[in-house]
Structure 1
Amino acid sequence: MRLVFLILTLLVCFSCKNDKSEYVDIQDFEEKTFASTAQIPDDHFLGDAACKSCHKEAFKDWKGSHHDKAMQIATDSTILGDFNNKTFTSQGITSRFFQKNGEFYVNTEGRDGKYHDYKIEYTFGITPLQQYIVKFPDGHYQCLRTAWDTEKNKWFDLYPDFKVVHSEWLHWSRGGLNWNNMCADCHSTNVRKNYDIETHSYDTKYALINVSCEACHGPGKAHVENANRLGAAYKVAGDLKMTFNTEPKQLVDDCARCHVRREQYTKFYNFEGTFLDHYFPQVLVNNLYHPDGQILDEVYVYGSFLQSKMYQNNVTCTNCHNPHSLKLRFEGNKLCAQCHDAKVYEAPSHHFHDMNSEGAQCINCHMTGKIYMGNDYRRDHSFRIPRPDLSLKYGTPNACVQCHTDKDDAWAWEHYQKTHGTPKSKHFSELLARV
Structure 2
Amino acid sequence: MSQKLKWTLVAVVSIWAVALFVLLAKPKPAVVRNTPVTERIPTQISSRPSPAKTIEATPTVSRSDGYLGSDSCQECHQDYHQSWHESYHRTMTQSVNPESVPASIVDGGLIEVNGESFRFLREGDDYFVELDDPIAGGRHLKRRLVLVTGSHHMQVFWYESGYDKTPAQLQIMYYIDGDRWIPRRSAFLRPPSMEKEHELGRWNSICSNCHSTQPRTRPPQRGEVAWDTRVAEFGITCEACHGPGEAHVEGHRLRAADPQLADFDDPIVNPAGLPTDLKSDMCGQCHGMMMISIADVEQREKYFEQGRQFRPGDQIEDAPFLQLVRASKEHRDTKAFREFDSHHGVMAGHFWPDGQLRVTGRDYSGMIESKCFQDGDLSCMSCHTMHQQDKTLQHEWKDDQLKPNMRTDRACLQCHPKYEAFGSSHTHHPVSSEGSRCMNCHMPHTIYGILKSSRSHTISSPSVTTTLETGRPNACNLCHLDHTLEQTAKHLATWYDQPIPELTGHQKTTAASILQFLTGDAAQRALQVNAFQWKPAQEASGTDWLTLFLLLGMDDEYDAIRLIAERGYHTLPNATQFDYDFLQPMQRRGAVMGPQYMNVLRKKQKPNSALLIDQDGFFDRRRMEALMSRRDHTPIYLQE
What are the equivalent positions in structure 2 for 1:85-96 lying under 5 Å apart? 85-90=109-114, 93-96=115-118
Deviation at 1:154, TM superposition (A): 1.7
What are the equivalent positions in structure 2 for 1:112-127 lying under 5 Å apart? 112=137, 116-127=141-152
Deviation at 1:179, TM superposition (A): 0.7
Change (3 A) 1:68 1:185: same
Q: Give, in whole Å, the separation in 2 of the partners of 1:237 and 1:57.
A: 25
Amino acid at match of 2:353: P
Deviation at 1:70, TM superposition (A): 1.4
Q: Give, in whole Å, the separation in 2 of the partners of 1:345 and 1:132.
A: 51
User: Are positions 1:270 and 2:309 aligned together?
Assistant: yes
What are the equivalent positions in structure 2 for 1:96-245 lying under 5 Å apart? 96-102=118-124, 103-105=127-129, 107=131, 110-111=134-135, 112=137, 116-138=141-163, 139-160=165-186, 162-163=191-192, 170-174=196-200, 178-198=202-222, 199-230=224-255, 238-245=266-273
Q: Which runs of 5 or more structure 1 residues have no equivalent in the other structure?
A: 1-5, 11-24, 34-39, 425-435
Q: Give secondary structure in 1 for the equivalent of 2:116.
A: strand
Sequence identity, in percent?
Answer: 24
User: Are positions 1:327 and 2:434 aligned together?
Assistant: no
Q: Give secondary structure in 1 for the equivalent of 2:104.
A: coil
Change (3 A) 1:171 1:405: farther
Q: Deviations over 1:240-292 (max 9, x none)?
A: 24533322212222211111232334331234565342312332155121112
Amino acid at match of 2:431: M
Contact 1:392 1:410 in 2 (8 A): no
Picking from 276, 280, 294, the partner of 2:323 is 280
Contact 1:193 1:205 in 2 (8 A): yes
Length-normalised TM-score, structure 2? 0.55
Picking from 422, 428, 431, the partner of 1:355 is 431
Change (3 A) 1:411 1:109: farther
Higher mean C-alpha displacement, 339-348 vs 215-224: 339-348
Change (3 A) 1:26 1:46: farther
Higher mean C-alpha displacement, 122-131 vs 93-102: 93-102
Q: Deviations over 1:27-68 (max 9, x none)?
A: 3779x98xxxxxx85483222232223323322321120111
**Aligned match of 1:390:** 466
**Aligned match of 2:363:** 301
Deviation at 1:318, TM superposition (A): 1.3
Deviation at 1:389, TM superposition (A): 1.8
**Aligned match of 1:27:** 56
Q: Give, in whole Å, the separation in 2 of the partners of 1:303 and 1:79.
A: 32
Q: Deviations over 1:180-213 (max 9, x none)?
A: 1111021111111110240243111111122111
Q: Give, in whole Å, the separation in 2 of the partners of 1:88 and 1:408.
A: 44
Length-normalised TM-score, structure 1? 0.78
Q: Give, in whole Å, the separation in 2 of the partners of 1:256 and 1:403.
A: 30
Q: Which has the larger radius of gyration?
A: 2
Q: Give secondary structure in 2 for the equivalent of 1:107.
A: strand
Q: Give secondary structure in 2 for the equivalent of 1:382.
A: coil
Q: Deviations over 1:148-168 (max 9, x none)?
A: 222331223443364467xx5
Q: Give secondary structure in 1 for the equivalent of 2:357.
A: coil
The RMSD of aligned alpha carbons is 3.5
Deviation at 1:117, TM superposition (A): 4.2
Change (3 A) 1:343 1:97: farther
Change (3 A) 1:182 1:346: farther
Change (3 A) 1:354 1:279: same
User: Are positions 1:369 and 2:452 aligned together?
Assistant: no
Q: Give secondary structure in 2 for the equivalent of 1:304.
A: helix
Q: Give, in whole Å, the separation in 2 of the partners of 1:52 and 1:274.
A: 28
Deviation at 1:320, TM superposition (A): 0.8
**Aligned match of 2:280:** 252
Contact 1:333 1:346 in 2 (8 A): no
Q: Give, in whole Å, the separation in 2 of the partners of 1:346 and 1:27.
A: 63
Contact 2:58 2:147 in 1 (8 A): no
Which structure features the higher share of strand residues?
A: 1
Contact 1:389 1:409 in 2 (8 A): no
The count of aligned residue pairs is 391
